[in-house]
């Protein structure tokens, strides 16, 4: 039987976050937006309509002073910022997962099963299915399409 989760107000969420060791910093130029930091991971939340809480910037590991985005390349996960991209280590992923779970608890958000198993990315890019999401006319030509039918026939004759 599913449990009902009582939503916290913006002020209640901020109090919970401060009580649980989060660094809460006011965003410059915004009175209803704050940056959260813990485990060298950061996110931003803002006050929504009816005193609700909305995530403004999703959790990301801090690289310098910039919140990185977790990107999955199929063989490795990377932390990407506007300036750099570095491979994500197990410590980075553990910090991200712990921060995300605590943030969900603070904001009274549900903790989904697949997210509880480990860190998830916003998008995934696998090397063998690259460009499959594009229309066929927008996809780059494959080597056998570039060589043409004549090369395929010649290669087939050479095998016989």
Return averaged pLDDT per consecutive 10 residues of the chain, 160 residues in all. Answer: 68 84 82 87 86 84 88 83 90 88 82 61 58 81 72 68
Could you state, in order of their start, the residue ranges of all structural domains in the chain? Answer: 10-159
Q: Cα–chain-centroid distance for residue 118?
A: 12
Please report the pLDDT score of residue 106 as a whole number.
82
State the Cα angle at 116 between 64 and 89, rounded to 5°: 35
Q: Cα–chain-centroid distance for residue 53?
A: 19
Tell me how far apart the alpha carbons of residues 93 and 143 are, in angstroms, rounded to a whole number.
37
**CB contact at 8 A, 74 and 124:** yes
**CB contact at 8 A, 56 and 64:** no
**CB contact at 8 A, 90 and 97:** no
């Amino acid at each position: 039987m599913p449990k009902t989760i009582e939503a916290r107000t913006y002020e209640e969420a901020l109090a919970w976050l401060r009580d649980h060791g989060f660094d809460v910093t006011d965003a410059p130029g915004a009175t209803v937006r704050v940056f959260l930091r813990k485990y060298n991971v950061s996110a931003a939340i803002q006050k929504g309509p009816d005193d609700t809480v909305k995530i403004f910037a999703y959790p990301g590991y801090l690289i310098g002073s910039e919140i990185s985005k977790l990107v999955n390349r199929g063989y490795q996960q990377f932390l990407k910022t506007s300036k750099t991209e570095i491979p994500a280590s197990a410590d980075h992923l553990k910090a991200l997962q712990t921060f995300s779970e605590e943030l969900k608890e603070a904001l009274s958000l549900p903790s989904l099963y697949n997210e509880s198993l480990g860190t998830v990315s916003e998008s995934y890019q696998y090397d063998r299915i690259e460009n499959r999401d594009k229309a066929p006319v927008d996809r780059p030509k494959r080597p056998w399409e570039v060589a043409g039918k004549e090369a395929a026939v010649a290669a087939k004759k050479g095998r016989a």
